[in-house]
């Protein structure tokens, strides 16, 4: 506890821009004592953990303008801020390929390795919190985008890379949302939507749009959630197998529920149940 107290005293003193001598004077003033019963060296001993303030603790807290328990609670160093998409991807269009021939040739083996990492990240998301996974998720997303931008590829390989970027964006977007980074999550989902559309994969685009709609519905943007969930369903209406269509209808039902639209929510639920029956 001594080191915790000292760390708190030092941090709060430095936030005020005070010297140790100034804190000593202010502590004496808070105690209503004239003279200099404690000085700079005593404050230094407290901060270095060589001595415990004890009877001086409430007066040090008063001088610093904090409750006494703010000096005695366990010390937790501030964590670095969570990264953002901009930290990992280029400022310009991240899906704009560099001039042809500038990078190594990318084959399906590379895409397969990337697909395995995407699967591993998806499994990790089942057991780890968003704040713990956002860094590795964005690193994997950066790696996939670099392969697409800097590698030499075409046809089937190019489409497969774009699909993996979309899959990674769906995972990373969910992880960012789980960590409370809703704006960042939206940017990641929109990157994934761009990749899915370029890959001409309506089901992947629908999944990304549905995930973003779910986030909108749960973060005070209910009307946008309904609009996007309906668009996700419409975009795959003719291509989605019954099981996927049931998922889109469930998301639409949830969006209507959050928006307070009881009748449309019930209709979407009923259609979703029918789609599930057809998938069996």
DSSP assignments along 197-238, one per residue: HHTT-HHHHHHHHHHHHHHHHHTT-HHHHHHHHHHHHHHHTT
Q: Is the pLDDT of residue 250 over 50?
A: yes
Q: Is pLDDT larger for residue 102 or for residue 51?
A: 51
- Calculate the alpha carbon distances from 12 to 3, 50, 77 in Å: 14, 18, 13
SS3 content of the chain, % helix, strand, coil (to 5): 70, 0, 30
Give the per-residue pLDDT at 2: 46
Helices in 151-181 by DSSP H: which ranges? 155-178
Question: What digits encode the pLDDT tens for the residues 227-239?
Answer: 999 988 887 766 6
Per-residue pLDDT reduced to its tens digit, 89-108:
776 777 777 665 456 788 88
Range list of H helices, the chain: 2-16, 20-30, 40-47, 57-64, 69-72, 85-88, 108-125, 130-150, 155-178, 182-198, 202-218, 222-236, 242-258, 262-279
Whether 204 contacts 167, CB under 8 Å: yes
- Structural domains in the chain, sorted by start: 2-71 (1.10.260.40), 83-200 (no CATH), 216-280 (no CATH)
For range 217-222, the mean pLDDT = 92
Evaluate if residue 55 carries a pLDDT over 60. Answer: yes
Statement: residue 82 has pLDDT above 80 = no
């Amino acid at each position: 506890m001594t080191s915790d107290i000292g760390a708190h005293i030092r941090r709060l003193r430095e936030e005020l821009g005070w010297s140790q001598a100034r804190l000593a004077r202010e502590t004496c003033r808070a105690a209503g004592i004239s003279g200099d019963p404690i000085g700079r060296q005593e404050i230094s001993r407290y901060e270095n953990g060589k001595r415990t303030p004890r009877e001086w603790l409430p007066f040090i807290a008063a001088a610093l303008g904090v409750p006494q328990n703010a000096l005695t609670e366990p010390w937790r160093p501030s964590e670095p801020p969570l990264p953002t998409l901009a930290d990992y991807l280029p400022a310009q269009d991240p899906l704009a390929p560099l001039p042809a021939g500038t990078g190594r040739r990318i084959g399906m083996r590379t895409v397969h390795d990337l697909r395995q990492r995407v699967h591993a990240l998806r499994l990790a998301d089942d057991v780890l919190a968003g704040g713990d996974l956002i860094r590795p998720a964005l690193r994997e997303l950066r790696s996939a985008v670099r392969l697409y931008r800097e590698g030499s590829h075409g046809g089937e390989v190019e489409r497969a890379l774009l699909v993996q970027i979309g899959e990674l964006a769906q995972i990373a977007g969910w992880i960012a949302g789980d960590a409370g980074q809703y704006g960042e999550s939206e940017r990641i989902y929109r990157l994934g939507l761009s990749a899915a559309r370029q890959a001409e994969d309506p089901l992947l685009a629908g999944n990304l749009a549905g995930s973003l709609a779910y986030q909108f519905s749960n973060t005070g943007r209910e009307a946008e959630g309904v609009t996007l969930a309906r668009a996700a369903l419409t975009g795959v209406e003719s291509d989605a197998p019954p099981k996927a269509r049931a998922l889109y209808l469930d998301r639409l039902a949830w969006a209507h529920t959050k928006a307070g639209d009881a009748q449309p929510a019930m209709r979407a639920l009923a259609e979703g149940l029918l789609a599930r029956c057809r998938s069996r």
